[in-house]
Amino acid sequence: MADTSKHAGVPQAGVAGSAAEAAAKAPKPQGNPVFRMMGLPNFRFKLPSRNWMIFLTITGSWTAALVYDRREKKRVQKKWCDLVSHLSQEPLPTSALRRKVVIYLSAPPTDGLLVAREHFHEYIKPILVAAALDWDVVEGRREGDVRAGLAERIRKLRKMKGEPSQEPLEEDEELVVRQTRERAGFTDEEGVQGDIVVGRHTWKEYVRGLHEGWLGPLDAPPPPVEEQPSLEATLDPAPTDSQSPAPTDILSSTPSQPTDDASPTAPSPPTDSTTTPPAQEPPKEEAKPAKRKQPPPFIYPSDYSAATPSPNLPSEFPPSNTIPLPHILGFRNTPLRIYRFLHRRVLADDIGRDVAAAVLAYNRPYYQVHENAAVGAGEGETVGVSDAASGQGESWEQQGLLRQEEEEWHKSVRKREAGERESVWLDPVTLDPRIAERMRRFVLYYPEEQRAMRIAKGEEGPIRSETAAEREV
């Protein structure tokens, strides 16, 4: 039987109060002594609040996606650089110039040229540098600049080959450098040169420039004659008697005695109080600077069939390749822009493949589209119609390249200005068979693409030339 004599006469409330006081007097946890010696507060590890959890989740997810994309982008670019790096180790004679490609780029619609330049430096230039290739750039700030620049280069080449022209060949800096190198015995490296065209809008101008340069005349056509108003319309109608005073009245109202303007005491001529002071002309608004128009073409697409090609027209043009330039503006397109910003590795892979094809110089003719397949694609290649033309009456592969970019152009680009005869960006791509069949396209053959996949997996390294191995030995 329990002994209850010790608690006899002691109220239960007193026992509970003493227990609470003992718990209150218990020593508090001192925490980490290192933090206490450093003067730092006692940190307690706990889950952050709801708002902090939301902030950290969003920030961490965005940072992880961005870091992963940029890391994969570098790996992809390194894969294509390693694929072509063996070309930089090949020796050249001291009198030979490195192979050169021409880069055509222009400002995207409703934007500046800096966007196209950054696109070139970020995606195209690293692969060209890895292969030790030289390049020349043709830039266009406005619509029509690339077309005019390419056509002028072709016309200059035709003049150098002896075609007659009213305007003599001007000796510019490029021509002087070329002649100096020829006299010194320098020659270009053997092999194809090639062109790299950035963007759908630049590709349209490139095709127009080829046609204008090889089918158009060497001399500029006369400017269109503007209709002048007739002489009778320009003359003012004869004033009536009620509108103008008689000549005698005008003479009588003028002073008959001359006055000396230099004399301060000369009397002022009498004035007629009935004459009204001349009306003040309203202030003229400042004339706005005229908008720069694109250089006028020497030939229009409607005249291609009747034009006589140049006698120096080559049997094959240098190969070309198109590089995508995705560029979309607008607040409503923010989700798509964010998606593309976090998936640049995909764009780098596509561009790297096209640039590597241009560097390795494998090429084939552009094919002509038929009902169910495309012919002329090369050795055993068959390409569907959807890959070349979207069923809009197109018959050549060149007409459908990068067509999807036109859907992302700003709506202000799609509006034609009043009195505008043509627009290179808005008009469809028109091809003459004599030009289209001579154009060629860079392609990456299947064995090279398989080697690039092995390089990406680490199963194979870049090709090492014999001269580089001998140097290491």
Q: What is the pTM of this model?
A: 0.74
Q: Which residues contact 368 (CB under 8 A, 6 or more apart)?
A: 374, 375, 376, 395, 396, 397, 436, 437
Band of pLDDT at residue 369, cut at 50, 70 and 90: confident
Over residues 449-464, the pLDDT tens digits come to: 999 999 998 888 888 7
- Whether residue 53 has pLDDT greater than 60: yes
Please report the pLDDT score of residue 297 as a whole number: 87
Which of the four pLDDT bands, split at 50, 70 and 90, describes residue 178? confident
Averaged over 157-185, what is the pLDDT? 82
Tell me how far apart the alpha carbons of residues 408 and 416 are, in angstroms, rounded to a whole number. 17
pLDDT of residue 227: 54
pLDDT (mean) for 4-16: 52
Mean pLDDT, range 225-249, rounded to an integer: 50
Q: How much of the chain exceeds pLDDT 70, in percent?
A: 70
Q: What is the mean pLDDT of residues 408-421?
A: 78
User: For residue 116, with 0-12 CB atoms within 10 Å meaning exposed, 13-18 middle and 19 or more buried, which class applies?
Assistant: buried
On the question of pLDDT at 284 being above 80, the answer is no
**327, 328, 331, 333: CA torsion to nearest 10:** -120
Q: What is the pLDDT of residue 385?
A: 38
Domain boundaries, the chain: 54-218+296-472
Task: Please give the average per-residue pLDDT across 322-345, as a whole number.
Answer: 94
Residue 324 has pLDDT above 80, yes or no: yes
Residue-level pLDDT at 263: 42
Q: What is the average pLDDT across 226-245?
A: 51
pLDDT for residue 119 is more than 90:
yes
- Pairwise pLDDT comparison (115 vs 391), residue with the higher score: 115
* Residue 107 pLDDT greater than 80, yes or no: yes
d(CA 78, CA 450): 15
What is the arithmetic mean of pLDDT over 272-280? 52
Residue-level pLDDT at 473: 42
For all residues of the chain together, what is the average pLDDT? 79
Residues 143, 202: Cα–Cα separation, whole Å: 9
pLDDT higher than threshold 80 for residue 82: yes
100/92 Cα distance (integer angstroms): 14
- Return the pLDDT at 176: 83
